[in-house]
Amino acid sequence: MPKTMFEKIWDTHLVAEPEGEPAILYIDLHLVHEVTSPQAFEGLRLTGRKVRRPDLTISTVDHNVPTDETRTEVIKDPIARQQVEALRQNCTDFGVTLYDVDSSAQGIVHVIGPEQGYTQPGMTIVCGDSHTSTHGAFGSLAFGIGTSEVEHVLATQTLRQRTPKTMEVRFNGELPVGVSAKDMILATIGQMGTAGGTGHVIEYTGEAIRDLNMEGRMTICNMTIEGGARAGMIAPDDTTFKWMRGRKFVPQGDDFDAAAAEWSQIVTDDGAEYDTLVEIDCESLEPFISWGTNPGQVARVSESVPGPDDFDDPAEQESAERALEYMALDAGTAMQDIRLDRVFIGSCTNARLEDLRAAASIIQGKRVAEGVRAQVMPGSTLTKWAAEKEGISEIFKDAGFEWRESGCSMCLGMNPDILVPGERCASTSNRNFEGRQGKGGRTHLVSPEMAAAAAIAGHFVDVRDWD
């Protein structure tokens, strides 16, 4: 029987399916960070359990580390420090590899997994972080889990899961010039809603997906969770293998070719069926901007801020009303008339080298608008170094951007990088929830190109008209 890519990975990782219980799924790679793991390690200690496979467990500090030059010193915030120090202690006690602030391999957990070559096609990958879906861009099955499940994986190297449903999100047609992967996923969430994918694993297909580079594919899989789905995946192909070859933890030389030949089998068979189909017409896409307080509340750059009356559903109306109030926006305002105080280029959605290149190409030779504070937090230390070597950091600095160290930073504001109440930010991250970037802060989600152009103009502009 023809199988989907999801089914192939699922079936080869089934350890057992005890009668009436969720399946026991084997986990190939477990990524760990400082915020969602301390209670899990503590649980192991209390029960006298070990980490079953420390060799399949990798950790880093990303969520609350500072992004200024003080990062290798003692963290000033005593509670954040406690968390980072707890991770250090836990990794020592349980024999887990830690990429600490002074390591070249440090970075946002979803950036370093692929960058170091840990993330590979056909794998099952988990992390106590909802954006684990990012790793699906390589044709792996990657889930975000809670802390109790982190403990479960540490102790057993397995996860209990009921079989999810499958969904195909098919991008029809070619992507217009000036429209990016970020716009594809914002459009998708706008169309299906933030709960549209609930209970599903999504596979993204279509010509536009095949044409994307790996960074773009990661951006799309990353935001899958914003559509409510458990995991997003994209079939591995030559683009995938080319990107992976030579990375530190992938097979090397001929072994890589042999592995790639196997990996190319992990694709959906002709005739395999998904439970649900969503189609997106690429040709009609434009750059997208979020106007509200969830990632489904998006508009095209050519449009205006909608009003509650533009929605049929009473819950959506109420949600829009509340969002407009929080965002201090009037219905009918042109999206391009929204002025900004801050610009943030960073996060596991859009802070890889290609994202930084894309943003740099927009700002070259220009200056950040008066009154706008613009910052770049590269996704990993290696990314930062690569960008510096290429001269991209100079382009940002010359334009008046702050060039910082890597980490989650302003994506969730657990370190000192936050918005102050009322500040409005164009952000390349993935969540525009109330207070996400700081209490009272107002977040607009956009692509790196759109964020860069907005930094220069001081308000949103259509990058398709940029010169």
Partner 1 sequence: MEKFTRLTGRVAPLNRANVDTDQIIPKQFLKRIERTGFGEFAFFDWRYLEDGVPNPDFILNEARYQGASILVAGRNFGSGSSREHAPWALNEMGFRAIIAPSFADIFRNNCMQNGMVPIVLSQNQVDHIMGNALKGVGYEVTVDLEAQTVSDAEGFSASFEFDSFRRNSLMKGLDDIGITLQNSDAIDEFESARAARW
* Positions that interact with ligand SF4 (CB under 6 A): 62-63, 108, 110, 129, 131, 347-348, 408, 411-412, 429-430
Up-side HSE of residue 256: CA atoms within 13 Å toward CB? Answer: 16
CB of 53 within 8 A of CB of 157?
Answer: yes
Q: Which does residue 168 bind out of partner 1, ligand SF4, none, counting CB within 5 to 8 angstroms by kind? A: none
Dist. CA 167–CA 175, nearest whole Å: 21
Dist. CA 142–CA 368, nearest whole Å: 38
Q: How far is the CB of 159 from ligand SF4 (least distance, A)?
A: 19
Q: How far is the CB of 418 from ligand SF4 (least distance, A)?
A: 13
CB of 216 within 8 A of CB of 134?
Answer: no
Dist. CA 110–CA 217, nearest whole Å: 13
Q: Which does residue 18 bind out of partner 1, ligand SF4, none, counting CB within 5 to 8 angstroms by kind? A: partner 1
Report the side by side order of strands in the sheet with 231-233: 231-233, 200-205, 165-172, 276-281
Q: Is 402 helix (H, G, I), strand (E, B) or coil?
A: strand
Check residue 265 for interaction with partner 1 (CB under 8 A): no
Q: How far is the CB of 113 from ligand SF4 (least distance, A)?
A: 11
Q: What's the token pair of residue 62?
A: 């990303």
Check residue 165 for interaction with partner 1 (CB under 8 A): no
Q: Which one of residues 7, 115, 151, 168 is an interface residue with partner 1 (CB under 8 A)?
A: 151
Dist. CA 345–CA 134, nearest whole Å: 18
CB of 455 within 8 A of CB of 447?
Answer: no
Q: How far is the CB of 429 from ligand SF4 (least distance, A)?
A: 6
Check residue 65 for interaction with partner 1 (CB under 8 A): no
- Could you tell me which residues come within 8 angstroms of residue 92 by beta carbon, excluding any fewer than 6 positions away? none
Q: Which does residue 239 bind out of partner 1, ligand SF4, none, counting CB within 5 to 8 angstroms by kind? A: none
Check residue 409 for interaction with partner 1 (CB under 8 A): no
Q: How far is the CB of 119 from ligand SF4 (least distance, A)?
A: 14
Q: How far is the CB of 424 from partner 1 (least distance, A)?
A: 17
| Rg from Cα positions in the chain | 21
Q: Which one of residues 54, 400, 435, 458 is an interface residue with partner 1 (CB under 8 A)?
A: 435
Specify the residue, 178 or 346, whose C-beta has the smaller distance to partner 1.
346
Q: How far is the CB of 225 from partner 1 (least distance, A)?
A: 8
Angle CA(100)–CA(104)–CA(109) in degrees, nearest 5? Answer: 60
Check residue 82 for interaction with partner 1 (CB under 8 A): yes
Specify the residue, 61 or 411, whose C-beta has the smaller distance to ligand SF4.
411
Neighbours of 208 (CB within 10 A): 24
Nearest Cα residue to 83 out of 42, 44, 37: 37
Q: HEC string of 364-401?
A: CCCCCCCCCEEEECCCEHHHHHHHHHHCHHHHHHHHCC
Specify the residue, 108 or 167, whose C-beta has the smaller distance to ligand SF4.
108
Specify the residue, 87 or 372, whose C-beta has the smaller distance to partner 1.
87
Check residue 152 for interaction with partner 1 (CB under 8 A): yes
Q: Which does residue 79 bind out of ligand SF4, partner 1, none, counting CB within 5 to 8 angstroms by kind? A: partner 1
Q: Which one of residues 11, 315, 365, 371 is an interface residue with partner 1 (CB under 8 A)?
A: 315
CB of 409 within 8 A of CB of 416?
Answer: no
Binding site residues, partner 1, CB under 8 A: 15-16, 18, 20-22, 24, 26, 35-36, 38-39, 42, 47, 49, 63-64, 77, 79-80, 82-83, 86, 128-130, 144-149, 151-152, 155-158, 160, 162, 194-195, 198-199, 228, 230, 294, 315-316, 318-319, 322, 412-414, 431, 433-436, 439
